[in-house]
Amino acid sequence: MAAAPTIVWFRDDLRLADNPALHAAVELDAPILCLFVLDDSEALRSLGGASRWWLHNSLEALGDDIRGLGGTLLLRSGSAATIVPELAHSVGAGAVLWNRRYGAAEREIDAGIKSELKEAGLDARSFAANLLAEPWEIVTGQGQPYSVFTPFWKASLQRHAANPPRHPLPAPTALTAMAEPPSGDELGSWNLLPTKPDWAAGLREQWTPGEAGADARLAEFLDDGVTGYAEDRDFPAQPSTSGLSPHLRFGEISSPQIWHAARDGRRHLGDDGATFLKELGWRDFAYHCLFAFPDLATRNWRQAFDRFPWPDVDQDAFDAWTAGRTGIPLVDAGMRELWATGTMHNRIRMVTASFLTKNLLIHWKLGEDWFWDTLVDADPASNPFNWQWVAGSGFDASPYFRIFNPERQRERFDADDAYIKRWVPEFGTPDYPEPIVDLGETRQAALAAYEQVKGA
Ligand SMILES: Cc1cc2nc3c(=O)[nH]c(=O)nc-3n(C[C@H](O)[C@H](O)[C@H](O)COP(=O)(O)OP(=O)(O)OC[C@H]3O[C@@H](n4cnc5c(N)ncnc54)[C@H](O)[C@@H]3O)c2cc1C
């Protein structure tokens, strides 16, 4: 009799190398059924448009890679809480393995499935896969989560010195598929790609979703791009950052893989390497915060911010912001870059988020939702974490009174307007709009509104 198959349930880990669940499945030496569920459970946040585009392409790449090794990727849509146990039962699986995720709703679904499978006598296991350290592994002396990045990162580095992030696992060289795998959905039937209109041309030009694309980007960055990173990473006109964020978001590459590749003995990256790895630390910190405060995307972390007197939303101002027609050139360039490519430079994300929340006095949640829909790296931890950081309501937030002045930022980081001219071709002509607000007056209004939060 053939051994009972092992189901490997892929989620935010769309890769074959350094995939602990897949690696453990191969070690069980039974036929493997790879599974991805497009989970429509109401408890989960629906993916935004740019993420759906990415997911389609990433699943296509993963499916090809799995087939190349002799395996099958089964696609199903519906509620994972129902599909996974039913599938395990119908194929007579002996084991179901997956890599962890950290949102509260996701954890609840996974815990429910795990106990159901275990009760039925199956081997159900989850693995650490995507972060440098699990969110609960870095804690203060009192055993509490950190709320400030610097001590979090100091403690993380101490831990990594004694107990380095997991060494990456090799990709399997072959996969034994089930003789008669069950049938699943066609990827195209999920309609993840935009059609009318097809707004994804700029995304296709800029990105190669999938593990091979992620590996190529990392190699190129470490060979070439990382030199000067510590200095250059703030200048949006230069291609000086890694561009790895969407690959990390979908788990096409893991933070431990990047950590070890960057620290490989043959490379001497110095300050540039340390600064780059610290950015991965921010990602870990965002997950640490999400784990400690599961409502990160919906509630102010600092409760005093619940008293902030947000005025009624000025819809025209919000529309001008999303369309990149505010008359503030650095903001407009960023918002247009986002629309065209599904990404925006980190410094400009801070500038556009500050402008929305402080100059337009529009709630961070609306901006977070827009980014969620339009970013290819829209991340359940990093996106709300950073929005709350800029708005002043979040973990280790920048002090409220430090309001980014987009004109000052332009002088410092885009002095020759190269970035602005790239994205706003009519800048400097009569076609370019006048500013929709006065930066000085709105700054004062924001500081006045903040008086109601201060000291609470
Ligand atoms: C308002 C706002 C919203 C953001 N939303 C997201 C998001 O949805 N998804 C996302 O991945 N990042 C988000 N960021 C963080 C940051 O802007 C992006 O990670 C970065 O621009 C991605 O480009 P890169 O891969 O070239 O970064 P690099 O400079 O090459 O950094 C390497 C990696 O470190 C991580 N990283 C860097 N900065 C941060 C940060 N501040 N917080 C968390 N992780 C970080 C990313 O995974 C990134 O790929 C947001 C920042 C702001 C201010």
Question: Is 341 close to ligand 1, i.e. is its CB under 6 Å away?
Answer: no
pLDDT tens readout for residues 351-383:
999 999 999 999 999 999 999 999 999 999 999
Cα separation, 196 vs 181, whole angstroms: 35
Do 278 and 352 fall within a single domain? no
**Which pLDDT band, with edges at 50, 70 and 90, does 1 fall under?**
low
pLDDT for the residue numbered 402? 84
Ligand 1 centroid to Cα of residue 260, in Å, is 19
Q: Is 354 in the pocket of ligand 1 (CB under 6 A)?
A: no
> What pLDDT is attached to residue 307?
94
83 within a domain of the structure (yes/no): yes
If pLDDT is split at 50, 70 and 90, which confidence band does 31 have?
Answer: very high
* Residue 54 belongs to some domain of the structure: yes
Domain membership flag for residue 82: yes
In a domain, 204, yes or no: no
Counting beta carbons within 10 angstroms of the beta carbon of residue 186, is it exposed (0 to 12), middle (13 to 18) or buried (19 or more)?
A: exposed
Same domain, 330 and 260: no
| CA 300 / ligand 1 centre spacing (Å) | 20
Q: Is 229 in the pocket of ligand 1 (CB under 6 A)?
A: no
Q: What residue owns the CA closest to ligand 1's atom 31? A: 279
Which residue range forms the structural domain that includes residue 254?
130-164+210-292
**Residue 219 is which amino acid?**
A
CB burial readout 285-316, b (16+ within 10 A) else e: bbbbbbbbbbebbebbbbeebeebeeeeeeee
The closest-lying atom of ligand 1 relative to the alpha carbon of residue 229 is: 29
Q: Is 352 in the pocket of ligand 1 (CB under 6 A)?
A: no
Q: Whose CA is nearest to atom 38 of ligand 1?
A: 279
pLDDT at 362: 98
Same domain for 383 and 428?
yes
Same domain, 288 and 139: yes
Q: Ligand 1 atom 29: the closest Cα is on which residue?
A: 241
Instruction: Answer yes or no: is 39 within a domain.
Output: yes
Beta bridge partners of 6: 32, 95
Which of these three, 292, 318, 334, is where a domain ends?
Answer: 292
Q: Check whether residue 13 and residue 135 sit in a common domain.
A: no
DSSP E strands in 297-439: the ranges are: none
Segment 286-295 shows an average pLDDT of 98
Interval 223-234 mean pLDDT: 90
* Å from CA of 345 to ligand 1 middle: 8
Q: 253 and 349: one domain? A: no
Pocket probe mutation, ligand 1, options 245, 257, 372, 404, max atoms within 8 Å of Cβ: 245
Q: Please give the Cα distance from 137 to 166 (Å, whole number).
A: 13
349 Cβ below 6 A of ligand 1? yes
Last residue of a domain, one of 129, 144, 178: 129
Q: For residue 196, count CB atoms less than 10 angstroms from its CB and return exposed for 0-12, middle for 13-18, buried for 19 or more.
A: exposed
User: 280 with 140, same domain?
Assistant: yes
Residue 455, pLDDT score: 64
> How far is the C-alpha of 68 from the C-alpha of 36, rounded, in Å?
17
Please tell me the distance between residue 268's alpha carbon and the centre of ligand 1 in angstroms: 24
Report the nearest-CA residue for atom 5 of ligand 1. Answer: 383
- What are the angstrom distances between the C-alpha of 236 and each of 210, 245, 279, 290, 321? 25, 16, 17, 28, 19
In a domain, 104, yes or no: yes
**353 CB less than 6 Å from ligand 1?**
yes
Predicted local confidence at residue 196, as pLDDT: 87
Query: Does ligand 1 come within 6 angstroms of the Cβ of 240?
Result: no
The per-residue pLDDT for range 103-138, each reduced to its tens digit, is 999 999 999 999 999 999 999 999 999 999 999 999
For residue 131 and ligand 1, the question of a CB distance below 6 A is answered with no
Distance of alpha carbon 413 from alpha carbon 149, whole angstroms: 24
Q: Are residues 427 and 335 in the same domain?
A: yes
Asked if 326 and 432 touch (Cβ cutoff 8 Å), the reply is no
pLDDT 10s digits, 264-276: 755 667 889 999 9
pLDDT of residue 265: 59
Domain count, the chain: 3
- CATH no. for residue 119? 3.40.50.620
Q: Tell whether 147 and 239 lie within a shared domain.
A: yes
* Segment 176-208, tens digit of pLDDT: 999 999 999 999 999 999 998 999 999 999 999
E strand or H helix at 153: helix 149-162
Q: Is 128 helix (H, G, I), strand (E, B) or coil?
A: coil
CATH number, domain containing residue 405: 1.10.579.10
121 and 134 inside one domain? no
Per-residue confidence band for 101, with pLDDT thresholds at 50, 70 and 90: very high
The per-residue pLDDT for 264 is 76
Strands 123-127 and 95-99, how do they pair?
parallel
Q: Is residue 183 part of a domain?
A: no
Check whether residue 428 and residue 339 sit in a common domain.
Answer: yes
Task: Say what the pLDDT of residue 258 is.
Answer: 96
Which range has the worst mean pLDDT, 89-103, 181-195, 397-411?
397-411
Q: Read off the CATH number of the domain in which 215 is found.
A: 1.25.40.80
Q: Whose CA is nearest to atom 1 of ligand 1?
A: 387
From residue 331, give the alpha-carbon distance in Å to each of 103, 317, 326, 338, 356: 31, 13, 7, 11, 9
Asked whether residue 327 is assigned to any structural domain, the reply reads yes
Mean pLDDT of the region 62-73:
97
pLDDT tens digits, one per residue of 310-355:
999 999 999 999 999 999 999 999 999 999 999 999 999 999 999 9
If asked whether residues 354 and 316 sit together in one domain, one would say yes
H helix intervals, 198-244: 201-206, 211-220, 229-232
Q: Which of 292, 316, 337 is the last residue of a domain?
A: 292
- Across 54-74, b (16+ Cβ under 10 Å) vs e yields bbbbbbbbbbebbeebebbbb
